[in-house]
Amino acid sequence: MAMSDETEPPMSDTEPQQEPIPTLVAVDFTADELRLLLTTPAQELITNEHWPLPPLDDEAAWAWEVGGRISTLFARDGERFYARGVGVACPGFVDPLRGVITESRAQEAWDDLHVADSIRRHINAPTVALDRAQAALRGEMSHGAAIGHNDVLYVTVGNDGPSAAVLVSGTVVRGAHHRPGLLPTADEDGTIDHAALAAWIGDAAALLDPAIVILDAPEDQADALLASVYETAADVGAMAEIVISALGERAALFGALGAAAIVSYEGERDE
């Protein structure tokens, strides 16, 4: 005879628990902000969060802050998650083989920050670190203005300084020292010399002959930069299409997500 609700035994500690759900984790951070994106392995959105970053004086403080934030996302809404791959977009020059920021463009304490190792101390998953400019280019390739193009010049004028990334024949060019392209820097007050920057971009477009040049700049500077680059590119005979970024500040996060998807296969092979 079936038991009634009143007489059914309570669940014991041996009852099977829900299996944790695999995810991809994308991290993008600047001098003062942290963005995290959690998706399924098919890149379906689970959550998108951002927080201010306080001054972090050393690698241990950075690892505790960022690793801890990721860990809090793994237990939400009564479900349990784990990372199959982690991609981190960093504000500085990155050695991708070691996962280290060799020179920070954000907080000074982040020079020689071991990003991949720091994340793995909290999250046991394959982890890759890449420069924010190169991550943003990858984001534009997968979700933005660079879709369908094999030769692209991406230029960003962000809070961590102007820089560039290049796609040649479908491959992101890292360079001998793993640096993004360096651009004319801003003045001490943060003002960008649009004429000097546009001249650099026009010359680079003429030299590299990309199909498209993607410009990422603050909203109040974007139109002026676009007009200047159109003029200089025409003067030097560059034939590239010139457009404003389709993703803006989200580009680096999408690029980090794509990198997480790639390294996630490493974790699958190890299972």
Q: DSSP state, 192?
A: -
For residue 191, name the pLDDT band (cuts at 50, 70, 90).
low
Residue 8, pLDDT > 50, answer: no
Query: What per-residue confidence (pLDDT) applies to 2?
Result: 43
Pairing of strands 45-52, 113-114: unpaired
Separation of alpha carbons 178 and 168, rounded Å:
15
Residue 7, pLDDT > 60, answer: no
User: What mean pLDDT do residues 44-56 have?
Assistant: 94
- The share of the chain scoring above pLDDT 70, in percent, equals 87
Query: What per-residue confidence (pLDDT) applies to 88?
Result: 98
First to last CA, the chain: 44
Q: Which two tokens stand for residue 80?
A: 């349990």
Query: Dihedral, CA atoms, 55, 59, 161, 203, nearest 10 degrees?
Result: 180
The correct answer on CATH 3.30.420.40 for the domain covering 145-246 is yes
> pLDDT digit string (tens) for 235-266?
999 999 999 999 999 999 999 999 999 999 86
Residue 86, pLDDT > 70, answer: yes
User: What mean pLDDT do residues 99-104 have?
Assistant: 93
Helix (H, G, I), strand (E, B) or coil at 207: helix
Average pLDDT, the chain: 87
| Biggest CA-to-CA distance, the chain | 90
Query: What per-residue confidence (pLDDT) applies to 185?
Result: 63
Under CATH, to which class is 21-133+250-270 assigned?
Answer: alpha beta
- The share of the chain scoring above pLDDT 90, in percent, equals 66
Q: Which tops the pLDDT comparison, 238 or 221? A: 238
Query: What per-residue confidence (pLDDT) applies to 187?
Result: 64
51 CB neighbour count, 10 Å cutoff: 13
What residue segments make up the domains of the chain, in order of their start?
21-133+250-270, 145-246
